[in-house]
Amino acid sequence: MKLVIIGVVGTIVGCLLGVAIVAAGTMPEQASVQAENTDWVYDIMVIITGGIFGLVTAVLVAAIVIYRHRRGETRVAPPVHGHTVLEIWWTIIPAIIVIFFTAISWKALNDNEGGKADLAITVWGQQFDWKYDYPSLGLEQQSELVVPVGAKIDFTIRTKDVIHGFWVPAWRMQINATPGRETALRVTPTKTGSFKLVCTFICGSGHPVMGTDVKGSIPRRVRVVTQAEWDAWAAEAQAAAAEQASSPEGAAVSIFTKAGCGGCHAWTPAASTGGVGPGLDGLAGGDAEAIRQSITDPSATLVSGFGDIMPKDFGASLSPGDLDILVQSLAGGGA
């Protein structure tokens, strides 16, 4: 009887511990419908599993204390084989808990993906940057992820090289960018603002610049804006893309931006501010062949003070024509 009371008290204390963890607000900011659905399931699980933790711990500790071997005691406990009533209960109760967890998770997953999408965006992971296609706007390989608040957005996640992982903690949704496959994610943002974007795979030596938020990394951000702001941003981005397509220096800037160079290099013509590699403005008037080699074979000569982390595959991934345009433009200071 004593053990039963201790077990009940332990369960209650454990549940209260779960409530305290939930109330302490240990989760990141909640900024999407999916985050609300997910946190609700998480909160319930923390409280119920807290109760189980309390029950097991209380009974375990109490049994150790109450039934410990005392000095001079020679009694041995009687052997017991089976206890049908107990066994029925310890099967039924966990089964109910597991079925309940399954049901609420099912509901959350269903609610996460319900309804027709308002917007489709393709996210590209590459060493070591993110790029975004907005098919409905005719925009490709943009370096900014900007979305309207309240829209049901279907993200398609792809990679140009190795595995990356697309994760916006405030949205609670994460999925891998897997070579040779497309993965999908539905997000309905509920809050405007700027949110952290993280690559969840150690995808190479430059992984930290893909927004792990560790010291020294470049925080990658998602911008959630109102519909009116998004329309204005879209018009501006479309105008910028059209202008780039029509000017020769624009072509170089566009290649530079699409290849993800700006994630690591500051270069004034492209208005990029990356600080992982050296600034490239100083290359103006430089030797084009040396610049070409720095891009196609970065390990051959390293700029002093920098590690060998520039991707090695630009010689293959950039077309010879694009490489020429880029090299000429870097050597000519953007002209």
Cβ neighbours around 301 below 10 Å, total: 10
Q: Given candidates 35, 123, 173, 203, which one binds Cu ion under the rule CB under 5 A?
A: 203
CA 207 to chain centre: 13
Q: Pick what 279 binds: Cu ion, ligand HEC, none; C-beta below 5 to 8 Å, kind-dependent.
A: none
Q: Pick what 164 binds: ligand HEC, Cu ion, none; C-beta below 5 to 8 Å, kind-dependent.
A: Cu ion
Q: In angstroms, what is the C-alpha Rg of the chain?
A: 28
Nearer to ligand HEC, 35 or 295 (CB): 295
Burial pattern 207-222, b for ≥16 Cβ within 10 A else e, equals: bbbbbbeeeebbebeb
Q: Pick what 173 binds: ligand HEC, Cu ion, none; C-beta below 5 to 8 Å, kind-dependent.
A: none
Q: Pick what 291 binds: ligand HEC, Cu ion, none; C-beta below 5 to 8 Å, kind-dependent.
A: ligand HEC
Q: Pick what 54 binds: Cu ion, ligand HEC, none; C-beta below 5 to 8 Å, kind-dependent.
A: none
Q: Could you tell me which of 269, 276, 163 has the C-alpha nearest to residue 218?
A: 276
* Closest separation in Å from C-beta 273 to Cu ion: 20
Distance CA 223, CA 240 (A): 19
CA distances from 320 to 58, 118, 287, 295, 311 (A): 70, 39, 18, 12, 17
Is 199 a binding residue for Cu ion by CB under 5 A? The answer is yes
Q: Could you tell me which of 170, 158, 167 has the C-alpha nearest to residue 131?
A: 158
* Closest separation in Å from C-beta 202 to Cu ion: 8
Q: Pick what 199 binds: Cu ion, ligand HEC, none; C-beta below 5 to 8 Å, kind-dependent.
A: Cu ion
The secondary structure of 58-121 as a DSSP string is HHHHHHHHHTPPPTT----PPP----HHHHHHHHHHHHHHHHHHHHHHHHHHHHHT-S--SEEE
Packing angle, helices 288-296 and 320-331, rounded to 10: 130
Q: Pick what 230 binds: ligand HEC, Cu ion, none; C-beta below 5 to 8 Å, kind-dependent.
A: none
Nearer to Cu ion, 46 or 199 (CB): 199
Is 164 a binding residue for Cu ion by CB under 5 A? The answer is yes
Nearer to Cu ion, 31 or 203 (CB): 203
Contacts of 112 by beta carbon, 8 Å cutoff, 6+ apart: 33, 34, 37, 38, 173, 186
Is 158 a binding residue for Cu ion by CB under 5 A? The answer is no
Is 220 a binding residue for Cu ion by CB under 5 A? The answer is no
Q: Given candidates 6, 149, 210, 259, which one binds Cu ion under the rule CB under 5 A?
A: 210
Residues that bind ligand HEC (CB under 6 A): 128, 206, 209, 259-261, 263-265, 276-278, 280, 283, 291, 294-295, 298, 302-303, 306, 308-311, 314, 326, 330
Q: Note the residues at the interface with Cu ion (CB under 5 A).
A: 164, 199, 203, 210
